A and B are shown apart, each in its own frame.
Chain A
Amino acid sequence: MIKMHNINKTFRVARRNAGMREAIKSLFQKQYDVIHALNDISFTIDEGEMVGYIGPNGAGKSSTIKIMSGILTPDSGECIINGLIPWKNRIEYVREIGVVFGQRSQLWWDLPVADSFRLLKDIYQISEKKYRENVETLSSLLNIETIIKTPARQLSLGQRMRCEIAASLIHSPKILFLDEPTIGLDAVSKIAVRNFIQDINRQYHTTVILTTHDMQDIEALTKRILLIGKGRILLDGELETLKKEYSQNKRITIDYQRGSFMPCQGLAIETHHPGRIIVSVNTDVLSVSSAISHLSVHAEVTDIAIQGATAEEIIISLYEEHHI
């Protein structure tokens, strides 16, 4: 479905020091730095997959998405999506994709959202019947039936984002690129958006590529993650395997009434207030059950919570491990 092979992209960035003098100097002689935005990026994604594309700011996520959506032409490398080369057969290719840029709107600010949808219908040449069907299903799934009659400027961010996503799917694309779709949303809207993306993927078998900094998105939506840093793919794997690999550390939170705790091997105290203690257990050395029994020997425990590593922690340790 999606095949990227050895994609490279460099940018020339003009550099100059601050100040008027330097500004004048740069008029005559410009200094450029070459930045390798993407280095030998290769991966394949199958139809119907949901992939999380993660990495810190400036790692090359957006550049990859832009190449995959036909906006940028790479310096070298092969990219075949849907049997087409995005930047060569641009017009034919983009009919099959939908893109949501979380930070930019595609709706007409002053007009009701439904008007923007109408225009998209003409741009994508969707038949009247198909258009009706799509708008109906999308607006009921996203719960925007009444909202779409309001001008976009009067919508809340969450409402607008739901409309944005609907607008990107109105031509029933095979691939959906989501660039930070939940940025700035409240908890309820986030969950609504996530559920919807899942529904779409299940019902229509839409391939979804998601970039985000919100690890809950990743946890809720994707099985597979691609980690990019400094323009290279650093890791390509299942989130579950990663979780197992990185969660030999379990965190146990214990509420207690009285008593004391003895340190022991494989058990480190993270915080300790009177009445509550948080310890982390290295499960390679000490099993969780023996840790609990050890801890409850000298104390009267009222509550215990055990937690594996969250996606967030995994990502942080991944970033640390790869020095990005």
Chain B
Amino acid sequence: MKLYLNFLSMHLRCALEYKASFLLTILGQFLISFASFLGVYYMFARFNNVEGFSYSEVLLCFSVVLMSYSVAECFAYGFKTFTATISNGEFDRIMIRPCSELFLVFASKVEFSCLGRLLQAIVILIYAISNSPIIWTKDKILIFIFMIAGGIALFMGLYIIYASFCFFTIEGLEFMNIFTDGGREFGKYPMAIYGKSVLGFFTFIIPLACIQYYPLLYLLDRPVTPLAPYTPIYTFLFLIPCYVFWKIGVTNYKSTGS
């Protein structure tokens, strides 16, 4: 943990070497995600609810997903750009360090500009909470925190899978973006609006619905199964297969010529 903080301070110092660029990319990220917020806004300017979810409820869902996505992207950036790490031989260097290679890849990059999105997510969250009728009890707050934490774990897991694929092939990995970037975009709305089969996929295969739809129903006092408030915890289990897949990938590592 101390080592990670050390890495973090190195990254921060690097980013601050170029202050103007640092601030501009944060601003840029903020504006990009603002466009996606506008999508939701105009949608609700025409219809006042989507499958029974009101504007503020959808925004709550949106902010949870956006927040966990941006935190995950910020810190798991090393996995997102792992193709480059492999092709420029950086991974060789990681392998000769006496630390877990998963940890070192994780610590190898931090993209602070993603915090621009986080900022956006916080603004939307504040707006959504102040406009929603939810009465915040202690366990609801706890569940809400778990929704975000579970979301971070989920997106990080997806990035780890994405990176693990790089050990086998470097081509055609774009399809993974359906789950990462796509997950962020789908995740704006509660998963149920896409129909049963999509909901099933995002419950059991990639448990995205577990951090928004099910616990959200609980927060909104809708009728739910007793398991619903605990579903965010399930996403942490998702990290286990990700880790196994990563390990298989590492033993398959072929390195590049130099």
* A interface list, Cβ under 8 A from B: 11, 58, 62, 66, 69-73, 90-92, 94-95, 97, 99, 101, 103-104, 106, 108-111, 115, 118-119, 122-124, 151, 179
B89 touches A70 (CB 8 A): no
> Contact at A90–B95, with CB atoms within 8 Å?
yes
* Residue B193 CB within 8 A of the other chain: no
Q: A91-B98, A108-B14 are in contact. Are A101 and B93 (CB under 8 A)?
A: yes
Contact mask B143-176 → A, CB, 8 Å, 1/0? Answer: 0000000000000000000000000000000000
**Beyond A99-B96, A108-B10, is A122–B255 a contact (Cβ under 8 Å)?**
no
Judge whether B257 and A119 touch: CB under 8 Å: no
Task: Give the complex CA separation of A318 and B183 in angstroms.
Answer: 60
CA A21 – CA B183 in complex, angstroms? 34
Interface string of B52-76 (1 = CB under 8 A from A): 0000000000000000000000000
A35 CB to nearest B CB, Å: 11
Chain B residues whose C-beta falls within 8 Å of the C-beta of A99 in the assembled complex: 96
Residue on A with the closest CB to B256?
A62
Are B99 and A91 in contact, CB atoms less than 8 angstroms apart? yes
Say which residue of B14, B254, B258 sits within 8 Å of A101 (CB atoms). Answer: B258
Cα distance A73–B3 in the bound complex, in angstroms: 28
Are B10 and A111 within 8 A (Cβ)?
yes
Is A123 a contact partner of B97 (Cβ separation < 8 A)?
Answer: yes
Residue of A nearest to B258 (CB): A62
How far does the alpha carbon of A92 sit from the alpha carbon of B96 in the complex, in Å? 10
Known: A71-B92, A101-B92, A111-B10. Contact between A123 and B253, CB under 8 A? no
Give me the 7 closest cross-chain CB pairs, A-B, nearest first: A71-B95, A110-B14, A110-B17, A95-B98, A91-B98, A122-B3, A94-B96
- Cβ of A179: which chain B residues have Cβ within 8 Å of it? 258
Q: Categorize the interface residue count of chain B.
A: 20 to 34
Give the Cβ gap from B228 to chain A, nearest Cβ, in Å. Answer: 41
A106, B14: Cα distance in complex, Å: 15
A selection of 21 A-B contacts at a CB cut-off of 8 Å is A69-B96, A70-B95, A71-B255, A73-B251, A91-B98, A91-B99, A92-B98, A94-B95, A95-B98, A97-B96, A101-B92, A110-B13, A110-B17, A111-B10, A111-B14, A115-B10, A118-B6, A119-B6, A123-B3, A123-B98, A151-B17
CA–CA, A102 and B215, complex, Å? 53
Cα–Cα distance between A97 and B2 once the two chains are bound (Å): 24
Q: Output the nearest chain A residue to B16 by Cβ-Cβ distance.
A: A110
Contact, CB under 8 Å: A72 / B100: no
Evaluate whether A115 and B92 lie within 8 angstroms (CB atoms) in the complex, with A66-B255, A104-B258, A179-B258 already known. no
Mark contacts of B80-111 with chain A using CB atoms, 8 A cut-off: 1 yes-contact digit, 0 otherwise. Answer: 00000000111011011111100000000000
Chain A proximity of B88: nearest CB distance (Å): 8
> Complex Cα distance A179/B2, Å?
32
Which single member of A66, A109, A123 contacts B99 (CB below 8 Å)? A123
